[in-house]
Amino acid sequence: MSVFTTVTEAQLSTWLANYPLGELLELKGIASGITNTNYFVTTTTGRYVLTLFEKNTAEELPYFLDLMDHLAAHDIPCPAPVHTHDGQTLGMLNGKPAALATCLRGKSLEQASVTHCREIGRILARMHEAGESFEQHMENPRGKAWRIGTAVEVMPLMETRAANLLSRELKYQSEQALGDLPQGVIHADLFRDNVLFDGDELGGLIDFYYACNDALLYDVAIAVNDWCVEPDGSVDAARVQALLEGYEEFRELTDEEKSAWPLMLRIAAVRFWLSRLYDMYFPQEGELIHAKDPQHFQSILQHHIAQQAEEVD
């Protein structure tokens, strides 16, 4: 879902006076956003991305912006927040918290190759390593409690068979023990539309506004569920292998993580199935709406369940 807050060139020109970025040359809306309003902003000093936050409060946002500052300083290719004349990275524009960040080269991919997946594994592990020295902490707002609460809201609206599947899966997951998995800073939304590539060369990671502290393996599972699946929800083993091999070039998975891997893939699938169901049943008003199909993650979950059953047999 994309929700756009309109910003005029006159409004932005006034707001930009707080920044050492020169004069505004062009303002262009970005239609591919899911949660926040985004614009390309071109000034006499370069091109930037303006984000107006539609859901996050001003109190929540310093974690994300400070994390991006931290990662950029540790050579992780990601947008670096632009600071105002007095050193701030967050302001208010049209009643919404707003921030500017540097613009990266490249574009998101529609199809991911084995080469791309290996690069994603590498950069994800490097990001996890860089996050070890980030001192701020934020619990995952879309963790277990959110999954259970959201399921309660959407299940009465779902088709019976799908609701039964969701109910069984949540019960199964509640009965499993993940063990003592390594924790740290995770992106939590590393889909193809949040990564830029220039051919086979990584341009950078974007949209850190779901970042939080959680199991590092969860981040890997989220990435695999987008980068390594076919349109029917089945998993491409070659791409999974490439992503995991790339990851382990920089950070080796523990035995506990390897044991938890099948369950974590299912947890990650349920999280995005639920968020898409919620957005479909409870759409947020806005100028531009892109509702993503929940069925896709239902299919991914079903493939993971079937794959795990085969491995057990």
In this predicted structure, what is the pLDDT of residue 311?
84
Burial level of 135, CB count in 10 A (0-12/13-18/19+)? exposed
Q: Which domains does the chain possess?
A: 9-102 (3.30.200.20), 114-312 (3.90.1200.10)
Which secondary-structure segment (H or E) carries 28? strand 24-29
Residue 236: CB partners within 8 Å, gap ≥ 6?
Answer: 228, 229, 230
Contacts of 239-245 spanning 24+ positions with Cβ under 8 A = 239/112, 239/113, 239/114, 239/117, 240/117, 242/114, 242/115, 242/117, 242/118, 242/121, 243/117, 243/118, 243/120, 243/121, 244/121, 244/220, 245/118, 245/121
Token output for 230: 């076919």
pLDDT at res. 218: 98
Interstrand relation of 183-186 and 201-205 (parallel, antiparallel or unpaired): unpaired
Segment 226-253, tens digit of pLDDT: 999 999 999 999 999 999 999 999 999 9
pTM score, two decimals? 0.94
Report the distance separating Cα 158 and Cα 281, nearest Å: 9
At 124-178, the pLDDT tens digits run 999 999 999 999 999 999 999 999 999 999 999 999 999 999 999 999 999 999 9
In one letter, which amino acid is 267?
I
pLDDT in the model for residue 287: 43
Q: Which residues of the chain have pLDDT under 50?
A: 1, 287-288
Q: β-pairing, 183-186 with 96-102?
A: unpaired
Instruction: Sort strands 46-52 and 96-102 into parallel, antiparallel or unpaired.
Output: antiparallel
* Contact of 184 with 212, CB cutoff 8 Å: no
Q: What phi and psi, each to the nearest 5 degrees, are found at residue 48?
A: -135, 170
Closest by Cα among 256, 266, 182, 259 to 221 = 266
The answer to whether the beta carbons of residues 170 and 274 sit under 8 Å apart is no
The 3-state DSSP class for residue 170 equals: helix
Torsion sign, CA atoms 49, 72, 81, 20:
negative
Q: Residue 290 forms beta bridges with which residues?
A: none
**What's the confidence (pLDDT) of residue 312?**
74
Which residue from 257, 219, 39, 237 is spatially nearest to 124, judged by alpha carbons?
Answer: 219
